């Protein structure tokens, strides 16, 4: 078994579910493993505290030149609940590796670390390279935010996510929050004595469907249209009560240059302008979560360097955009040009049967070796 595949299996075997999920374990165990593994390989290791028991792990090698390259990949995964395969017992079969995190994004993490190890074995590289294994990407991106807040700087960065070995230089952002409808409770035998909050929210949802249709008229050449999803709904206290409260959770995907806060305010203004919602007891609080999108020119430094590395690895890389969000946007906003690259497909990320193709992991490692090790 290739070292990078063995490393990937070791990473999958360590549960690192984000604590925001009911089965969340946090990243402490995988952080300990990465530190031990990197130190055995003679690499420099630093810990960066982010939250209680949650640390970024910075693994690096100081090179000869003045250039600094950042490789970044998150350690956390989504929940393992509902998986149809053993989540933490990695299986290697049919030229694939199965398990939670195999695709998102422990394959990228393994390829990055193994590339760094192989380059270090050959001597001092021509540039300084740091691998930042970060926490909390699957929730509030506290890890990468801490990285840039503490002043980490690099000439450019590559963020590991499942891109099927494409160079992603644009992706969407997110704004998420809740809308609340307030009613009046009453016994369900006399519904006319109450005000049904779920009925009010039904009107809101229909209006949001019209708004989503309007959003889809906009278009970005790399990431498509902005979207709006009613992702959760909670309402009612029992079958014999008129519900006095109903809340829906909204996921609004933004275009690369769209301000998430402005997007949320635009949604609010749309709802307030709808005639059928006038005077209804609806609350639209400020959003709970916001992430910007990202877009770099096709001739930006990380894109050009990755393309050249792909050619040297006999793995020509294509460019494109994706509809999901990554840590790259936080780096770009901190003036670190960053693109996204890694093995695996987003179709397998978070899936009940998560896997990654072995060939893509091996190719990703080779491309990264050329990126950080070649003159």
pLDDT of 62 reads 95
Q: Are 222 and 294 in contact (CB under 8 A)?
A: no
Mean pLDDT of 2-30: 97
pLDDT digits (tens, 9 = 90+) for 251-296: 999 999 999 999 999 999 999 999 999 999 999 999 999 999 999 9
Exposure string for 121-155, b = 16+ CB within 10 A, e = fewer: eeeebebbbbbbbbbbbbbebbbbbbbbeeebebb
Mean pLDDT of 25-49: 98
For the chain, the structural domain boundaries read: 3-171+293-373, 174-291
pLDDT at 23 over 90: yes
Pairing of strands 156-159, 338-340: parallel
CATH 3.40.50.460: does it fit domain 174-291? no
pLDDT of 111 reads 98
Q: What are 33's two structure tokens?
A: 């493993």
CA 349 to chain CA centroid, nearest Å: 10
CA distance 363 to 369: 10
Mean pLDDT of 319-347: 97
Mean pLDDT of 18-36: 97
pLDDT digits (tens, 9 = 90+) for 199-250: 999 999 999 999 999 999 999 999 999 999 999 999 999 999 999 999 999 9
pLDDT of 242 reads 96
Mean pLDDT of 40-60: 97
Q: Are 35 and 108 in contact (CB under 8 A)?
A: no
pLDDT at 99 over 90: yes
Closest by Cα among 10, 7, 12 to 80: 12
Percent of the chain residues past pLDDT 90, beyond the cut = 99
pLDDT at 375 over 90: no
pLDDT of 367 reads 98
CA distance 236 to 302: 51
Q: Kindly report the average pLDDT of the chain as a whole number.
A: 97
pLDDT digits (tens, 9 = 90+) for 168-187: 999 999 999 999 999 999 99
CA distance 168 to 222: 9
DSSP per residue over 279-334, as a string? T--EE-PPPSEEE--EE--TTSHHHHHHHHHHHHTT----EEEESS--THHHHHHT
CATH 3.40.630.10: does it fit domain 3-171+293-373? yes
Q: Are 230 and 176 in contact (CB under 8 A)?
A: no
pLDDT digits (tens, 9 = 90+) for 111-135: 999 999 999 999 999 999 999 999 9
Q: What are 23's two structure tokens?
A: 């089965």
Pairing of strands 355-357, 96-98: antiparallel
Q: What are 279's two structure tokens?
A: 């005077």
pLDDT at 160 over 90: yes
Q: Find all residues with CB under 8 Å of 66, minimum gap 6, and list them.
A: none
CA distance 133 to 87: 21
Pairing of strands 91-93, 44-51: unpaired
pTM: 0.93
From start to end of the chain, where are the E strands?
A: 44-51, 54-61, 68-74, 91-93, 96-98, 128-134, 156-159, 167-171, 173-182, 227-235, 245-254, 282-283, 289-291, 294-295, 319-322, 338-340, 355-357
CA distance 46 to 59: 7
pLDDT of 329 reads 97
């Amino acid at each position: 078994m290739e070292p990078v595949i063995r490393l990937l299996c070791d990473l999958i075997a360590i549960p690192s579910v984000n604590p925001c999920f009911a089965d969340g374990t946090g990243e402490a165990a995988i952080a300990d493993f990465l530190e031990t593994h990197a130190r055995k390989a003679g690499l420099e290791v630093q810990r960066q505290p982010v939250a209680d028991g949650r640390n970024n792990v910075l693994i690096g090698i100081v090179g000869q030149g003045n250039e600094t390259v950042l490789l970044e990949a998150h350690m956390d995964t989504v929940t393992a609940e509902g998986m149809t395969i053993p989540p933490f017992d990695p299986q290697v079969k049919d030229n694939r590796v199965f398990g939670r995190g195999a695709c998102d994004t422990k394959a990228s993490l393994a390829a990055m670390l193994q590339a760094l190890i192989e380059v270090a074995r050959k001597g001092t590289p021509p540039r300084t390279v740091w691998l930042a294994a970060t926490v909390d990407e699957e929730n509030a991106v506290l890890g990468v935010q801490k990285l840039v807040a503490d002043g980490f700087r690099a000439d450019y960065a590559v963020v590991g996510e499942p891109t099927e070995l494409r160079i992603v230089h644009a992706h969407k952002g997110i704004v998420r929050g809740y809308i609340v409808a307030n009613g009046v409770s009453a016994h369900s035998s006399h519904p006319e004595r109450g005000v049904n909050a779920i009925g009010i929210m039904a009107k809101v949802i229909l209006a949001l469907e019209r708004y989503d249709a309007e959003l889809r008229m906009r278009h970005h050449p790399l990431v498509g249209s902005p979207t709006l999803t009613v992702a959760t709904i909670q309402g009612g206290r029992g079958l014999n009560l008129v519900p006095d409260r109903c809340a829906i959770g909204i996921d609004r995907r933004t275009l690369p240059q769209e301000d998430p806060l402005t997007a949320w305010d635009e949604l609010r203004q749309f709802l307030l302008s709808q005639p059928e919602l006038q005077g209804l007891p609806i609350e639209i609080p400020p959003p709970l979560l916001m992430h910007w999108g990202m877009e770099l020119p096709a001739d930006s430094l990380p894109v050009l360097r990755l393309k050249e590395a792909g050619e040297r690895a006999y793995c020509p890389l294509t460019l494109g955009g994706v509809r999901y969000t990554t840590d790259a946007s936080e780096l770009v906003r901190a003036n670190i040009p960053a693109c996204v690259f890694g093995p695996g497909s987003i179709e397998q990320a978070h899936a009940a049967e998560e896997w990654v193709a072995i060939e893509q992991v091996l190719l990703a490692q080779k491309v990264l070796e050329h990126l950080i090790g070649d003159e």
